[in-house]
Amino acid sequence: MKKNIYLFGPGMGEGNAGMKELLGGKGANLAEMSNLGIPVPPGFTITTEVCTYYVQHRKYPSDLGNEVEQALKRVEKAMGAKFGDPESPLLLSVRSGARASMPGMMETILNVGITEETIPGLIKKSGNERFVYDAYRRLIMMYSDVVLEKAQGIDPEEHGIRKQFEREIEETKKRKGLKDDTELSTEDLRQLCQTFKAKLKEVLKVDFPGDPTEQLWESIRAVFKSWMGKRAISYRNIEDIPDDWGTAVNVQAMVFGNMGENSATGVAFTRDPATGDKIFYGEFLPNAQGEDVVAGIRTPQPLNEATKAVLANELSSMEETMPQIYEELNSLQKKLETHYRDMQDIEFTVQEGKLFILQTRTGKRGGAAAIKIAVDMCEEGLISQKEALLQVKPEQISDLLHPMVSPKAERTATKLADGLPAGPGGAVGQIVFTADDAETQSKEGKKVILVRAETSPEDVHGMHVAEGVLTSTGGITSHAALVARGWGKCCIVGCSALNIDVSTRTVKVGGKTLKEGDWITLNGTKGTVYAETLPLFPADPEKNLSYKKLMIWADEIRGLKVRANADTSEDAKLSRKFGAVGIGLCRTEHMFFGPERIKLVREMILADNKEMRQKALGKLLPYQKEDFIMIFRAMNGMPVTIRTLDPPLHEFLPHNKSAQAEMAKQMRISPEALREKVELLSEVNPMLGHRGCRLGITYPEITEMQVQAIMEAACELTKKGIKVLPEIMIPLVGTKEELHNQREIVVRIAEVTKKKYGVDVNYLIGTMIEIPRAAVVADEIAEFADFFSFGTNDLTQLTFGYSRDDVVKFLPDYLENKILANDPFQTIDRKGVGELMKIGIQRGRLKKPNLKIGICGEHGGDPKSIAFCHQIGIDYVSCSTYRIPIARLTAAQANINSQ
């Protein structure tokens, strides 16, 4: 028979910290703390397996009733009270506890066990009638909300029973001229309990249960049901938590922080979660229950003098008001951090002078804090270098690479609204409501933030110039989120509190109305909006000593090399600053867009024959050569992988009429002739069209010019004694014949050029593997390749048959319906795309055992994808400049994890 229940509490812990899967994070921690002698209120955990069973069968395992009864007896014994007993009634909390933390997503019911029958006993025992009626009205509120509404599938919203109850409290306070809930009298509270029960009968047509056992079982059921609730499901989608993990339920003896002035409740962190500073940091509320801290109705007081300083909170601290309790807590927090080897987030309650630890868990923290904590802990000897490296989430590093809202300023700022964090960093700017306004005003030198209900491809020009983007609808896969993430731009989406009216250029939030030109601040890493200008910290990781130490450790341990995708010498320089050991992708086409160059490119495209094309290309040559000289110089002997021309030629021609007319005039041809050419070059599916090496094969003179520019640049620098290592990469190869064809051109031009300069330059010739066929015939292709570089963007497009430009039409549905677990353009699809990569690597190395293999799609900067690259034997990842440090850390973690 399966054990469905595990006890915890001083001297009675049945589980331990390793049983997270079965007991959930909270349950496992409570068990572990019991074992450690931490004063947790006793209770028991119903396992996650019961949840899964319940979700599948809509009923409980047959033995559960008995087990609960037995466990309850043990708890009753430990607390010296009895559940439902009129004399000395035990009260219970019923809380969810999933394997992964899902803060605020799951349900909790407190004070279970108060009934009209147990009230007198409770009053007698506590000597605090007001507290009892306060607890009762809280139970009625929570139970009605969670058990009687949400668990029945009713979405509470504005007209939910809880809101109605709250309005009753407000009315009572108004009527009596009170400001704070704590000012309500015992009679007020008793009256409210009666009013609530009547309301419940009226609105939901049910009685509040007078049977404590019914309260308990219905609360347990509600928690299990909340696992499949809408909010929980969407949170799991975001955080990648599988449905079948289920949640555990923790039933625990209640302890009360609201039993007078020698009671309190609070939350503490073993280090400052915003900065990582080694201070014991936290807040508490005297004479209050935990929900009061979370709800933010009363302003919490600082835990100690250190917190007081950080928060500039002048209220008296626990260190001052309850020094002994504080000392006990302080010594417990040190014990907990040392035990868990990580910064802890601790919930505690003081009941009439006695400290209880309700919960401890790994504390959430920002990027800078995470790095500082990891490095500090390592230097304190608490954790090893490897543990320090694993403690920082790679994405957290990006906090250091983007401007960040000052955490200090943020603590004291008033939040305007919350949304989903969709693009990292902070942004400060003036509100604009249309993409065109964004463009116009940014041209005038203004810093703007684009605020829209949602964005579409037509808004892209406005998004581009904006400091940040804020939308009221859409999730993390909405258009705005996808675009912003791609650019590394600060973005918050789905900020549903916003009520935008474009026609009047105003946005209402709560009671406030903001208009165009008003300043706001976005924290895109957290998803928070402020209606004021907060100071931003500029990105300068080099000044962060913890960061520098961590990256040195990472570089020492990682196996994968990290290169940059860089098209300019500026990018190249920055990439070296960020620790790249070479360029893995230099896109030559980006060099074609300068004003003087685009003219020559167009001349080349319009050429009627090879001679005219060659003439135009000849004029482009010096520009390209100069580009390469600059990049080679910047990389100073590190390998530079240069991809020959990739996009279809029509991308270089204007597509709207007026631009065409202008170009025709400039090129001295008729607009009709130009239009005809544009027409001729246009394609039904440009992604699958005349591009990549297909261009170099039909117009070999393009490849010839590019190779000449690369090799002349390389030869000139070599002559000057500067080391150069060009790696020429042919894009979009699907057959060995294509690579063979282009390789011959490269070799021919390279040899002629070297001879002309009279120097020797080592160079490699390789290919992108981005066409599914290339992966399948990689053995053939390897014959002509010195290296492979997986172009996972195109490989993903082709393996799935998804156009990256169009996928937004169905990707949100796919993610929501769990057709896809992730956006495959963000994280490599291991089963499909990854399988093709494995085939490509295996077959390529079958032919050439030492074939150098890299990846230069955007996945090269994605932690999960980098870990996969490490697993399958890739030599280097190449990613956009700002992802380099992230890739370095991920590569180190991948190596540690595979050891």
Q: Is 556 in the site for a copy of itself (CB under 8 A)?
A: no
Count of beta carbons in the 10 Å neighbourhood of residue 160: 17
Decide whether 473 or 803 has the Cβ nearer to a copy of itself: 803
Out of 309, 545, 673, 819, the only residue in the binding site for a copy of itself (CB under 8 A) is 819
Out of 88, 330, 430, 803, the only residue in the binding site for a copy of itself (CB under 8 A) is 803
Give the up-direction half-sphere exposure of residue 789: CA atoms within 13 A in the CB hemisphere.
35
Collect all residues with Cβ–Cβ distance below 8 Å to 721 and sequence separation of at least 6: none
3-state secondary structure of 518: coil
Size (the chain), residues:
899
Q: Using the CB atoms, write b or e for 266-288: b if 16+ within 10 Å.
A: bbbbbbbbbbbebbbbbbbbbbb
Burial class (CB in 10 A: 0-12, 13-18, 19+), 655: exposed
Piece of 598-606, 615-623, 759-767, 775-783 that binds a copy of itself (CB under 8 A):
775-783
Q: Is 828 in the site for a copy of itself (CB under 8 A)?
A: no
Burial class (CB in 10 A: 0-12, 13-18, 19+), 618: middle
Q: Is 747 in the site for a copy of itself (CB under 8 A)?
A: no
Piece of 159-167, 229-237, 597-605, 796-804 that binds a copy of itself (CB under 8 A):
796-804
Contacts of 449-458 with C-beta under 8 Å, sequence gap 24+, read 449/520, 449/522, 451/498, 451/500, 451/507, 452/480, 452/500, 453/500, 454/478, 454/479, 454/480, 455/479, 455/480, 455/483
Decide whether 463 or 572 has the Cβ nearer to a copy of itself: 463
Number of residues that bind a copy of itself (CB under 8 A): 48
Q: Supply angle C-alpha 554, 559, 563, rounded to 5.
A: 80
Q: How far is the CB of 827 from a copy of itself (least distance, A)?
A: 14
Going residue by residue from 647 to 686, which x/- string records binding to a copy of itself, judged by CB under 8 A?
A: ------------------------------------xxxx
Piece of 88-96, 605-613, 657-665, 774-782 that binds a copy of itself (CB under 8 A):
774-782
* Active site (annotated) includes residue 856: yes
Out of 806, 846, 897, 898, the only residue in the binding site for a copy of itself (CB under 8 A) is 806
Catalytic residue of the set 51, 378, 715, 856: 856
Count of beta carbons in the 10 Å neighbourhood of residue 593: 11
Can you spell out the DSSP letters for 341-366? TS-EEEEEEEETTEEEEEEEEEPP--
Confirm or deny that 211 is annotated as ligand binding. no
Can you spell out the DSSP letters for 419-455? -EEEE-SEEEEEEE-SHHHHHHHHHTT--EEEEESS-
Q: How far is the CB of 26 from a copy of itself (least distance, A)?
A: 31
Out of 390, 800, 848, 871, the only residue in the binding site for a copy of itself (CB under 8 A) is 800
Out of 406, 735, 822, 871, the only residue in the binding site for a copy of itself (CB under 8 A) is 735
Sign of CA dihedral 781, 782, 786, 788: positive
Q: How far is the CB of 329 from a copy of itself (least distance, A)?
A: 49
Q: How far is the CB of 890 from a copy of itself (least distance, A)?
A: 25
Out of 62, 414, 609, 817, the only residue in the binding site for a copy of itself (CB under 8 A) is 817
Out of 124, 548, 690, 848, the only residue in the binding site for a copy of itself (CB under 8 A) is 690
* Active site (annotated) includes residue 339: no
Decide whether 94 or 695 has the Cβ nearer to a copy of itself: 695
Decide whether 129 or 454 has the Cβ nearer to a copy of itself: 454
Q: How far is the CB of 686 from a copy of itself (least distance, A)?
A: 7
Q: Estimate the share of the chain in helix, then strand, then coil, as percent rounded to the nearest 5.
A: 50, 15, 30
356, two tokens: 């209880």
Separation of first and last alpha carbons in the chain: 37
431 forms bridges with which residues in the sheet? 449
Q: Is 732 in the site for a copy of itself (CB under 8 A)?
A: yes
Confirm or deny that 792 is annotated as ligand binding. yes
Catalytic residue of the set 479, 650, 859, 870: 479
Confirm or deny that 587 is annotated as ligand binding. yes
Q: How far is the CB of 499 from a copy of itself (least distance, A)?
A: 22
264, two tokens: 């309190």
Q: How far is the CB of 453 from a copy of itself (least distance, A)?
A: 15
Note whether 870 and 891 are within 8 A (CB). Answer: yes
Confirm or deny that 791 is annotated as ligand binding. yes
The separation between CA 639 and the C-alpha centre of its own chain, rounded to angstroms, equals 32
Q: How far is the CB of 819 from a copy of itself (least distance, A)?
A: 4
Note whether 867 and 894 are within 8 A (CB). Answer: yes
Q: Going by DSSP bridges, is the β-strand pair 108-112/490-493 parallel, antiparallel, or unpaired?
A: unpaired
Q: Is 818 in the site for a copy of itself (CB under 8 A)?
A: yes
Collect all residues with Cβ–Cβ distance below 8 Å to 381 and sequence separation of at least 6: none
Burial class (CB in 10 A: 0-12, 13-18, 19+), 207: exposed
Out of 108, 741, 880, 881, the only residue in the binding site for a copy of itself (CB under 8 A) is 741
Burial class (CB in 10 A: 0-12, 13-18, 19+), 608: exposed
Out of 436, 813, 846, 898, the only residue in the binding site for a copy of itself (CB under 8 A) is 813
Q: How far is the CB of 742 from a copy of itself (least distance, A)?
A: 10
Out of 468, 726, 772, 885, the only residue in the binding site for a copy of itself (CB under 8 A) is 772
Q: Is 835 in the site for a copy of itself (CB under 8 A)?
A: yes
Q: Is 797 in the site for a copy of itself (CB under 8 A)?
A: yes
Confirm or deny that 505 is annotated as ligand binding. no
Q: How far is the CB of 670 from a copy of itself (least distance, A)?
A: 19
Q: Going by DSSP bridges, is the β-strand pair 764-769/725-730 parallel, antiparallel, or unpaired?
A: parallel
Query: Among 316, 303, 291, 94, which Cα is nearest to 181's?
Result: 291
Out of 698, 721, 849, 850, the only residue in the binding site for a copy of itself (CB under 8 A) is 698
349, two tokens: 């309650």
Q: Is 738 in the site for a copy of itself (CB under 8 A)?
A: yes
Return the active site residues.
Answer: 479, 856
Residues that bind a copy of itself in the complex, under the rule CB under 8 A: 683-690, 694, 697-698, 732, 734-735, 737-738, 741, 770-773, 776-777, 780, 794, 797-803, 805-806, 809-810, 813-814, 817-820, 829, 831-833, 835-836
Binding residue numbers for substrate: 587, 643, 770, 791-794
Binding residue numbers for Mg(2+): 770, 794
Binding residue numbers: 587, 643, 770, 791-794
